[in-house]
Amino acid sequence: MVRRITPGLYNTDKQSFDAYFRTYEEFFAPLADRDVHLLELGISQGGSLEIWRDYFRTGTIAGIDIAAVPLRDPSGRIHVYRGLQQDTALLDRVRAETAPGGFDIIIDDCSHIGEFTALSFWHLFDRHLKPGGLYVIEDWGTGYMRGMPDGKACRPKTRPGSLRSRLRPLAERLIARPVLAGRPRAARLVRAAMNRLVRKNFPSHTHGLVGFVKQLVDEAGMADITHPAWGTPPARPSRFRFVRISHGQVIIAKAGAADAGPHRRPPVPARRRRSASPRKTTRPGRRASPGLS
């Protein structure tokens, strides 16, 4: 049975984000009865730390905020620190004092500024998150907001009826015509022209946290980016087991030893002579606490 979270019983600014907690229930359920070590960046009044204390009934909970948070915790399992998320010395100290073996879960609900989020992410992810651990970035959509220091409004551009999209089917029909079967040079020229009609660059919103999230997508695809056959060396797998992006939340699972090893991609076929036929390439029992049930 999934342990439920009722944020309305706590003093937290997350009360209106019910979808966040349904996602947390999904991902945190396997850890609910373990001695979890959790760190949250940006804790407001501290209510979210109480949620995690009650959800993880034997867990150790740490939080950092730029402001002083006078939180009373009879359990003694909550540890509050004052400081900046980009203060790496502070991050190191929090880990040493509260999670010597590393954190199982880290949640960033702090500045929502891309540069600071990236700095704390890579420092904590590489040094202080356990293999297989979860890192959550909340409210990444702030990159679309003009009011944020690094935000900007997004105006998507779509051109479904562009000249490019109309010319490509014509080129495909031309290649299929029997008249080109005996003219390999002409067929190659038409095929090269057709490839130029394929859109290679998709203009994208890259401001604030949105831009950083797209960098995380690149890391998820690192096995392809560095593939020996078509990528940029040196080859390496992604540091992520998976990335899940949903409205307001990005959840990254850190890869472990079982995820390491050679690129798991199909083999690349041997080079063949050019011919008129299209070239094919293989590509890739305690009582529940308040708010929980």
Q: Which positions are catalytic?
A: 112
Question: Is the distance from CB of 117 to CB of 42 less than 8 angstroms?
Answer: no
How far apart, in whole angstroms, are the C-alpha atoms of residue 125 and residue 269?
Answer: 37
d(CA 191, CA 175): 7
Q: Name the helix (H) or strand (E) containing 64.
A: strand 60-65
C-alpha torsion sign, points 28, 33, 37, 38: positive
DSSP bridge pairs for 63: 40, 80
Q: What angle do CA 177, 171, 202 make, to 5 degrees?
A: 150
Amino acid identity of residue 256, one-letter, is G
Range list of β-strands (E), 73-119: 78-82, 103-108
Burial of residue 114, with CB atoms counted within 10 A of its CB: 0-12 exposed, 13-18 middle, 19 or more buried: buried
Residue 213 carries which side chain, given as an amino acid letter?
A: V
Phi/psi class of residue 247: alpha, beta or left (left: φ > 0; alpha: ψ in -120 to 50)?
beta
User: Which residue carries 């960098």 as its tokens?
Assistant: 215
The answer to whether the beta carbons of residues 137 and 211 sit under 8 Å apart is: no
